[in-house]
Amino acid sequence: MLLAAGCGRSNSSSSSSAGGSSDPGITDTTLDIGQSDPLTGPTAAPGSCNLAGWQAYVGHVNAQGGVKFGDGKTRKINLKGYDDGYDPARALANFRQMVAENKFAEVGSLGTPTNLAAMPQANAQKVPQVMLSSGSTAFVNQTKNPWTTGWPPTYLDEGANFGKFLAASGKPLTVAVLAQNDQLGLDYTKGLEDAVQGSQVKVVAKATYEPTDATVDSQISNLAQSKADIFYAAISVLKLAAASLTKAQQLGWKPSIFLASLSSNPAQVIVPGNGTAYPAIWSTTYIKDWRNPDVAKQSDVAQFLQDMQTYASNIAQKDIINNCLWGYSAAATFVRALQAMKAPTRQALMDAIHTVKANDIPLLLPGITLDASSKTTAPITTLKIQQYINGAYTTVDTMK
Amino acid sequence: MNAARALKVALPLGVLVVLAIVPLSATPYTNYQLSLVGTFAVAILGLNIVSGYAGQISLGQSAFMGVGAYAAAFGVAHGWPVVLSFVVAALLPAAIGALVAIPAVRLRGNALAVVTIILPIIAVPLAKRYAGVTGGSEGRSVDWAHVPSGTGLEDDQWRYYLVLVIAAVLFLLGRNILSGRIGRAFAIVRTNEAVASAMGISAHRYKVVAFTIAACYGGAAGFLYVLVVQFASPDLLNFQVAINMLAALVIGGFANLWGAVIAGLFYVYVPVVAGAVDPSRTNIFYGAVVLVVLFIVPGGVSGGIVRLVRALLARLPDRYRRFTGVDPQAGPASPVPPQPDASGPEPTPPSLRAGAGSRKEPQ
């Protein structure tokens, strides 16, 4: 009886912008946002680096006084990181915690299964879940999930770009695929298979692994029996990518290697995996290679390295992997959207994101443009093939 | 004795009233967390029955919880009646638990523990493989258990009350099982199997019973999990979840009903607190808390509270005598405190009572 007597909360928990002039998490001087990443566990390295990249850019912007929003007010950004350990249930709990702590939006969170878990809640509660660091095609469907946006090219795009590269060589090539046993792996595999269809390139062996696996030795042993010319490593766990390279050469299988952009970092994968044993190592990229001394002198890269040192000192320079750069660049994209945001509401943020078109986002390779207006593709769709030669990546147009 | 009896009735009632009022003013996130506490308390109560009361270490509780969660999610997705989903979610894991237990309980101690690890280890790849049923590695999202219109409640409050009622019923049921014939048999099986068989109690049979009850509670908790989280994924089946539940139970206290509740609180809130301290060091923080609690109160928090209450009461000799009928000056009657949840209505032989009260952690 007590319960039935209208004891429900008067301030409805179903947050929507209806009626209010501003949504939770935004004042005239501040914007509160949250990010959920795997900061512990096997995927901690990419997760920590992603958060560090965001913190570096946000720190840089705040130090300059904040962001001048489209409504004329200048606000500082408070970004809070949450750990999900790559566990979907914890990512969902983190999302709920963000809403409870009045975060305006979830931004840039890394991971496919984790973001998928939070996506239904985000869209039901109309809370932006944007610039996600995942190439899953699930996050680029704005008709179905209007409050969710991705940022990097999808894994489908990546697989397709590499497939076209192989097919264009005109050579009869065999490919062995090792893919993560989830949508990420499926997208990588489908992109490749669709692109090589009808060409002389054949996928001759396939295997899958779990992101929590301690080793991929048995999968590599099976793939090695195919003696394929190309080993297509659609792996997101850095240590497993390195271990797969080590294992293949132990077995005497020395194919050319394709590394997914998620695990193409030389220091964490190619060097420990003794990549020089292989005839060629390729990957795809859209981000500048800061390890190249000439590139490191460019103003945006130099600024990035300095910001990392100042605002994200928990990641030492030697530990910087691509996720740091992607995080930094995605944060810059987010700030562009804020600059176009006409009202302090979540809907206004979503509207603003779809207006962002730029070819001068920091750290993106020359020629890569970002266009967030499409509701069916990621903001970035173009990729370049790069080859690892003499300790550094060089972009290549054709197979040699 | 009247005062003691009144306290015994008033205390749980008072707790219930507080639990009933809290969600009305708490935030949805707090209600979500408290509902999760109730959910994990049920799962850990199951673990407590098999590990704490019957003395058989199980590392497979997450698998039973996961099966229950998938059964519930599958039922919701296919429009089953809620009661049917609940029954399947509770009975399917119980059947699996019984099937595994029948051969497994022939082993003892660590060997049995190792066999139980197999469950989560097989369950995770199976769940990913049969994506048609489970939703694969992305898991299965459901949207259900919305509050009926006209109650004036929000969804989070409604789900909280459902969890509270179901958990309270399961705890009451557990209390009755453990304070009756089965509970006494568990105690004697745990303490000494030879004595058990001399008394005509089949250790083998009661271990199977303990495993089955534990699996059933795990499955029911899985149902509650889907009710609260609206999501089931292979990560719930994970072996690490089972280990964390066991660690939480050690913290909460073996062979004590409140131990499971404290364990639930610990399981849900420690990672949140750890995340607030430093999100990239949650595991270290969790481990440190486990160690600290074990150093300070080796019997778990619930055992520590009982000891603390006893020590305080001992300072008030008159009241203590009235409450317990034991003269503290004459020394404690038994090495362990009287246990409200294990003392049934039937008279119990002193030897069994001592066994049921032992808080020693089984090997």
Nearest to A93 by CA among B111, B7, B11, B229: B229
Enclosing H/E stretch for A209: strand A202-209
* Cβ-based neighbours of A273, under 8 Å, separated by 6 or more: A241, A242, A243, A244, A245, A246
Q: For chain A, give every residue range classified as CATH 3.40.50.2300.
A: 30-152+295-381, 155-285
Enclosing H/E stretch for B232: strand B231-232
Nearest by CB: B151 against A4, A9, A40: A4
Distance from CA of A364 to the nearest CA of B (A): 28
Nearest to A311 by CA among A44, A53, A29: A53
pLDDT value, residue A19:
42
Superfamily of domain A155-285: Response regulator (3.40.50.2300)
CATH topology of domain A30-152+295-381: Rossmann fold (3.40.50)
* Cβ-based neighbours of A245, under 8 Å, separated by 6 or more: A233, A257, A269, A270, A273, A274, A275, A277, A278
Mutate to test the interface with A, among B36, B141, B144 (most CBs of A within 10 A): B141
Give the separation between CA A259 and CA A265, rounded to whole angstroms: 9
Nearest by CB: A100 against B29, B230, B275: B29
pLDDT value, residue B347:
40
B143 touches chain A (CB under 8 A): yes
Please give the residue of chain A at the shortest CA–CA distance from B149. Answer: A4
B233 chain-A contacts, CB cut-off 8 A:
88-89, 113, 117
Please give the residue of chain B at the shortest CA–CA distance from A44. Answer: B280
pLDDT value, residue B346:
42
Nearest to B68 by CA among B196, B215, B187, B197: B215
Instruction: Check: CB of residue A51 under 8 Å from CB of residue A35.
Output: yes
Tens-place pLDDT, residues B107-132:
877 888 889 999 999 999 899 888 88
pLDDT-flagged residues of chain A (< 50): 1-8, 10-20
- Contact between chains at B29 and A99 (C-beta distance less than 8 A): yes
**DSSP of B147-186, one letter per residue?**
PPTTS---HHHHHHHHHHHHHHHHHHHHHHHHHSHHHHHH
**C-beta atoms surrounding B291 within 10 Å:** 10
B283 touches chain A (CB under 8 A): yes
Highest mean pLDDT among B19-23, B83-87, B152-156, B324-328: B83-87
Strand arrangement of the beta sheet that strand A281-285 belongs to: A202-209, A174-180, A230-234, A256-259, A281-285, A384-389, A392-395
Give the separation between CA B155 and CA B228, rounded to whole angstroms: 10
* Cβ-based neighbours of B309, under 8 Å, separated by 6 or more: none
Q: What percent of chain B has pLDDT over 90?
A: 52
pLDDT of B352 > 50? The answer is: no
Q: Greater confidence, B74 or B8?
A: B74
- Contact between chains at B28 and A13 (C-beta distance less than 8 A): yes
B157 chain-A contacts, CB cut-off 8 A:
8-9
Distance from CA of B151 to the nearest CA of A (A): 5
Instruction: Check: CB of residue A91 under 8 Å from CB of residue A117.
Output: yes
**C-beta atoms surrounding B191 within 10 Å:** 18
Question: Considering only CB atoms, which residues of chain A are within 8 Å of chain B?
Answer: 2-9, 12-14, 39-41, 44, 48, 81-83, 85, 87-90, 92-93, 96-97, 99-101, 112-113, 116-117, 120-121, 124, 181-183, 210, 212, 314
- The strand pairing partners of A259, in sequence order, are A233, A283
* Cβ-based neighbours of A105, under 8 Å, separated by 6 or more: A25, A33, A34, A127, A128, A129, A130, A346, A349
The mean pLDDT of chain B is 85
Work out how many domains chain B is built from and give that number: 1
Backbone φ, ψ for residue A43 (5° rounding): -100, 20
User: Residue holding tokens 């509207």?
Assistant: A351
- Contact between chains at A181 and B128 (C-beta distance less than 8 A): yes
**C-beta atoms surrounding B83 within 10 Å:** 9
pLDDT band, very low/low/confident/very high, at B15 (cuts 50, 70, 90) = confident
CATH number of the domain residue B239 falls in? 1.10.3470
pLDDT band, very low/low/confident/very high, at B350 (cuts 50, 70, 90) = very low
pLDDT band, very low/low/confident/very high, at B361 (cuts 50, 70, 90) = very low
> What is the ipTM for the molecules in this complex?
0.72
Q: How many CB pairs under 8 A join A and B?
A: 114
Pairing mode of beta strands A30-37, A67-68: unpaired
Q: What percent of chain B has pLDDT over 70?
A: 86
Nearest by CB: B233 against A12, A48, A113: A113
Question: Does B271 reside within a domain?
Answer: yes
pLDDT of B249 > 90? The answer is: yes
pLDDT value, residue A364:
95
- Contact between chains at A210 and B32 (C-beta distance less than 8 A): no
pLDDT value, residue B129:
83
Pairing mode of beta strands A105-107, A370-371: unpaired
Please state the pTM of the whole predicted model: 0.79
- Contact between chains at B29 and A12 (C-beta distance less than 8 A): no
Q: Output the CA–CA distances (angstroms, integers) from residue A35 to A50, A185, A256, B345, in the order listed.
A: 10, 24, 37, 54
Distance from CA of A174 to the nearest CA of B (A): 27
Distance from CA of A72 to the nearest CA of B (A): 33
Helix, strand or coil, per DSSP, at residue B325: coil
pLDDT of B5 > 80? The answer is: no
pLDDT value, residue A149:
96
Give the separation between CA A148 and CA A146, rounded to whole angstroms: 6
Question: Does B193 reside within a domain?
Answer: yes
B30 touches chain A (CB under 8 A): yes
Instruction: Check: CB of residue A241 under 8 Å from CB of residue A269.
Output: yes
pLDDT value, residue B274:
85
Please give the residue of chain A at the shortest CA–CA distance from B148. Answer: A4
B124 chain-A contacts, CB cut-off 8 A:
210, 212
Give the separation between CA A32 and CA A128, rounded to whole angstroms: 12
| Angle between helix B282-296 and B300-314 (nearest 10) | 40
Q: Which chain B residues in 319-358 lie under 8 Å from chain A, judged by CB atoms?
A: none
Give the separation between CA A85 and CA A38, rounded to whole angstroms: 4
What are the start-end ranges of the E strands in A92-168? 105-107, 129-132, 148-150
Nearest by CB: A117 against B139, B143, B152: B139
B23 touches chain A (CB under 8 A): no
- Contact between chains at A113 and B124 (C-beta distance less than 8 A): no
Q: Output the CA–CA distances (angstroms, integers) from residue B346 to A397, B5, B349, B353, in the order listed.
A: 85, 17, 10, 11
pLDDT band, very low/low/confident/very high, at B284 (cuts 50, 70, 90) = confident
pLDDT of B98 > 60? The answer is: yes
Pairing mode of beta strands A74-83, A67-68: antiparallel
Q: How many helices (H) and strands (E) does chain A have?
A: 11, 15
Nearest to B4 by CA among B304, B338, B300: B338
Instruction: Check: CB of residue B38 under 8 Å from CB of residue B269.
Output: no
pLDDT value, residue B289:
86
- Contact between chains at A92 and B157 (C-beta distance less than 8 A): no
Please give the residue of chain B at the shortest CA–CA distance from A136. Answer: B138
pLDDT value, residue B316:
67
Tell me the mean pLDDT in the region B304-331: 66
Q: Amino acid letter at B362?
A: P
Nearest by CB: B275 against A82, A117, A183: A82
pLDDT value, residue A43:
84
